[in-house]
Each structure stands twice: as C-alpha cells, then as structure tokens.
C-alpha cells in the first residue's frame, strides 16, 4: 500500500532547490514547471505580508474600565502619586 506524499516535504524540497536562484529565475523555473505539469499557466500573484488590522469592535478596553470602572480622577486619587509629572 502506498502512502500519500508529504506536501510539506515537497515544499521543503522545492524551497531548498530554488534557494540559490534569484527571484526572477525562481519565477521562470516555477512557470516552466507548471507548464511541464500541464497546470494552468499565467502570472503568479505575489502576496506581501499585511499588518494586522484593528479589531472591528475598536480598541480593547480593560474590563474594570468598561463595566462601571474607574475614571481617571478616581484612579489618581486612589493611587495618590507622589509627583505631578507633566
């Protein structure tokens, strides 16, 4: 019985093989491989990492402030700081 090929091992093998080439050469080699395998050929889209967006519900508010929490004046009075730093 034959086992299913390991996808991640295939990715590692390709990455190791393509490592010494420039990005342009890598694109060309991958395009040629796709053509050889009879896969749909076309420009490969290059994705770039995107910074995570702010949560849709807005900034996270600490629980004690969100539910009947302490306002700044009460907080300062409670902590009674020794200096008034501007």
Tell me the per-residue pLDDT of 24-49, one tens digit each, with 9 for 90 and over: 999 999 999 999 999 875 555 656 66
Structure confidence at residue 15 as a pLDDT band (50, 70, 90): very high
Q: Which letter does DSSP use for residue 2 in this model?
A: P
- Model confidence, pTM: 0.43
Percent of the chain at pLDDT exceeding 70: 58
Q: Do 64 and 70 contact (CB within 8 A), yes or no?
A: yes
- Show me where the domains of the chain are located: 7-36
Unique residue bearing structure tokens 């090929």? 5
Q: Do 31 and 44 contact (CB within 8 A), yes or no?
A: yes
Rg, Å, the chain Cα set: 28
Distance of CA 3 to the CA centre of its chain: 32
């Amino acid at each position: 019985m034959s086992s299913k090929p390991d996808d991640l091992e295939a990715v590692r093998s390709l990455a190791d093989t393509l490592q010494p080439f420039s990005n342009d050469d890598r694109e060309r080699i991958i395009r040629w491989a796709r053509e050889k395998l009879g896969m749909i050929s076309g420009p490969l889209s290059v994705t770039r990492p995107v910074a995570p967006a702010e949560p849709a519900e807005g900034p996270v508010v600490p629980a004690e402030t969100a539910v009947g929490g302490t306002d700044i004046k009460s907080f300062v009075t409670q902590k009674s700081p020794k200096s008034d730093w501007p």
